Amino acid sequence: MDALEAIRGRRSVRRFLPTTLSREIVETLVDAARHAPSAMNLQPWEFIAVTDQEMRRRIADVTDYGKFIADAPLCIAVFCRESKYYLEDGSAAVENLLIAATALGLGSCWVAGDKKGYAETVRELLSVPAGYRLIALVPVGYVEGEVRSKQKRELREVLHYERFSSR
């Protein structure tokens, strides 16, 4: 699957088969994430691959909209060292991870981290040192069932040339 096809085909998936993902798949996903651009090439990210079912359940229990994390065979927690552009850098890494999952035939979902009340609890659960911020929790796995497409705004609705126009 080429990059544009993966971008267009990416969907948020919340139902996963219990099939375990290989270490090779985990490493491929994180390798894609670490190749994201970052301000001044700081690369402030750290990735924690959580495969332990009990830990995924504990993480899921503290989230407000991520209860399905418990059912995914993998959750990748993305943290960034606090820096001026930690959120932008971490978000770029998460997007790479999501697109890579799609390209590999996997489902994934971005579960918010930064600015959420549970971010500190997740940091502590995963023994992440102070000074790191939770960017996202990304459950990953083979999709269970059918994934519905969401309607995207038309290109002509969102693209402006030279200056904003209100059509």
Tokens of 98: 């999501």
- The burial of 115, by beta-carbon neighbours within 10 Å (0-12 exposed, 13-18 middle, 19 or more buried), is given as exposed
Counting residues of the chain whose pLDDT is more than 70, the rounded percentage is 99
pLDDT at 150: 84
pLDDT confidence tier of residue 79, bands split at 50, 70 and 90? very high
Number of H helices, E strands in the chain: 6, 5
pLDDT at 39: 98
Q: For the chain, how far is it from start to end, CA to CA, in angstroms?
A: 35
pLDDT in tens, 128-163: 999 999 999 999 999 999 888 889 999 999 999 999
Cα separation, 94 vs 44, in Å, equals 13
Burial 8-24 (b: 16+ CB within 10 A, else e): eebeebbebeeeebeee
pLDDT at 148: 84
pLDDT confidence tier of residue 166, bands split at 50, 70 and 90? confident
41 pLDDT more than 90: yes
pLDDT confidence tier of residue 1, bands split at 50, 70 and 90? confident
Burial 138-157 (b: 16+ CB within 10 A, else e): bbbbbbeeeeeeeeeeeeee
Cα separation, 45 vs 91, in Å, equals 10
* 3-class DSSP state of 59: helix
167 pLDDT more than 80: no
- The DSSP secondary-structure symbol of 103 reads H
| Strand blocks (E) in 44-112 | 45-50, 74-81, 107-108, 111-112
- What is the CATH number that goes with domain 3-145? 3.40.109.10
pLDDT at 65: 95
